Amino acid sequence: MTIWQAIILGIVEGITEFLPISSTGHLTITEKLMGLPIDDTAVTAFTAVIQIGAIAAVLVYFAKDIGRLASAWFKGVFSKDARDDLDYRLAWYVIAGSIPIGIVGFLGKDLITGPLRSLWFVAGSMIVWAGVMAFAEYAATQIRDEKQLTLKDTLIIGFAQCLALIPGVSRSGATITTGLLRDLDRVTATRLSFFLGVPALVAAGIYELPEALGSDAVSSTVLGVGTLVSFLVAYASIAWLLKFVAHHTLMAFVWYRVILGGAIIALLATSTISAT
């Protein structure tokens, strides 16, 4: 992998990680178009590691919020009175909601990095989940905000996050959509999606780091460049998405997913590109 390929993949990761359009799906498509072996373990490891750049963007963007939650959690651990704080409960909610994807991701690693990397799965998942997103927009009441968030909400959304292990579904798409179906407003669902992504993606990146560094196909310089570009682009993407969801529905992303998924299927059906 060259530095230019790493830059392009870093840009794709940064743009798509937090938009409900599937970063893994877009990275898989981009890698395929650049002639990279999408089922190679070094390539899939690179994809996971550069997500750390996007997560670093979340940590910087939400530094005050994350610091407040962490402080409330530590106070609550040692003080019974502090456990009535909403931030203490929210911190525990994020921890609990992050557990399912860690377990499922570890147990299903071979399936996720193997057969599910097929572009047929990517295209099909994009279209199918677009339908779920459209239904969520239709059914959502958005009558609840962050103050009304419960442990049950975050556990359900945490289990939905596991669906993002299927390339094409989208982690943010799964979590935001499920949040809407739980009657959370879009901004609350989106912010929760960011918070739940931190432990999940950091763990995935650290787990895959030895695989990426141990390969001759991916140098440490290439890995560093991809991660840095991902961070810079993701930071801008986060700011834009929060402003967007405050005033718009997710339907633009729904139609984008359907069009892209249909285009991939057409290319596969005409043998213009191969599935793996």
- Residue 116 reports pLDDT greater than 80: no
Q: How far apart are CA 182 and CA 143, in angstroms?
A: 9
Residue-level pLDDT at 216: 67
Reading the block at residue 179, the tokens are 């949040």
* Residue percentage of the chain with pLDDT more than 90: 54
Rounded to two decimals, the pTM is: 0.86
Residue 8 has pLDDT above 70, yes or no: yes
Q: Domain extents for the chain?
A: 3-269
- The set of residues, in sequence order, having a beta carbon less than 8 Å from that of 176 and lying 6+ positions away, is 20, 186, 189, 190, 193, 245, 250
- Report pLDDT for 128: 94
DSSP state, residue 250:
S
Burial class (CB in 10 A: 0-12, 13-18, 19+), 210: exposed
Kindly report, residue by residue over 18-77, the tens digit of the pLDDT: 899 988 889 988 988 898 887 777 888 888 888 889 889 989 999 999 999 999 999 998
| φ, ψ at 86 (rounded to 5°) | -60, -40
- Tokens in use for 117? 């990397």
Q: Using CB atoms within 10 Å of the CB of residue 156, give its burial: 0 to 12 exposed, 13 to 18 middle, 19+ buried.
A: middle
Tell me what pLDDT residue 126 has. Answer: 93
